[in-house]
Amino acid sequence: MIIAIDGPAGAGKSTVSRGLAKALGFLFLDTGAMYRAVALKVLESGADPESETQCRETAERHRLSFDPAGKILIDGTPGEPDVRSERVEKIVSAVSAHPRVRAVIVARQQAIASAAHGVVAEGRDTTTVVFPRAELKFFLNASAAERARRKAHQVGAPERQRAIESDLLRRDTIDSTRAHSPLVKAPDALVIETDGKSPEQVIAELLAHVHARRAAAPRE
């Protein structure tokens, strides 16, 4: 079974997707981590993040997989925490914007999923491009105020909530209007509003949908 999860930045997708995968004993496919891994290797090899050819070659050169906890492995070696570093953060959106990089990575994501018995895939375009035929699609949503509140809390700066909120609204506009894999809700995705809910409550809600779906199609 493939479950695909998308939604705006700060809606709690990672925590919830990881938790759902764990509850189901499925593989957690962190698609963003794969683009981060390519960006890290671009940096390490001195390739040019703006060069589509160099980035595509870098993507093709390295084997990407996930350990049982859902953490990215690059040629079998842990990519964390380097894939979350500031220098990766700076170039990952340029690297992931190249269509030929996306083609390589999307094919890998599909291969990983077809080898697994169950997958929770999280990230931009998982519900539309990567797994358009996923058995279940969720679009996790939260108000800008709630997303800003969580982020401010996460970085330990509650006084910055207002500033974070305007930044999120600006990113939402960029995300939903950009040319490559914009943030769009797949027509068959279930919208889950997460305002005022804990990650555990959201996971329980998603699990109820999974169980209902399994009861309706017991052979899947």
Give the interface with ligand DC as residue ranges (CB under 6 A). 31-33, 35-36, 92-93, 96, 123-126, 181
Shortest distance (Å) from residue 167 CB to ligand DC? 15
In the chain the first and final C-alpha atoms are separated, in Å, by 7
At closest approach, how far in Å is the CB of 202 from ligand DC? Answer: 17
Cα–Cα distance measured from residue 94 to residue 215, given in angstroms and rounded to the nearest whole number: 43
CA–CA distance, 217 with 16 (Å, rounded to integer): 24
Q: Which is nearer to ligand DC, 199 or 214 (CB)?
A: 199
CA–CA dist 34, 178 (Å, integer): 20
CB atoms under 10 Å from CB of 135, counted, come to: 15
Please state, in angstroms and rounded to a whole number, the distance separating the CA atoms of residues 95 and 16: 26
Q: How far is the CB of 61 from ligand DC (least distance, A)?
A: 19
Instruction: Say how far apart CA 41 and CA 91 lie, in whole Å.
Output: 11
Residue 41: CB minimum distance to ligand DC, A: 14
- Closer to ligand DC by CB, 26 or 35: give it: 35
- Tokens 């699609």 identify what position? 137
Residue whose CB is less far from ligand DC, 129 or 217:
129
Instruction: Kindly state the tokens that stand for 18.
Output: 């990881």
What's the rounded Cα separation, in Å, for the pair 105 and 37?
11
We find the least distance from the C-beta atom of residue 124 to ligand DC, in angstroms, to be 4
Q: Which is nearer to ligand DC, 125 or 146 (CB)?
A: 125
For ligand DC, the closer of residues 54 and 96 by Cβ is 96
Which residue of the chain is nearest ligand DC when measured via CB?
32
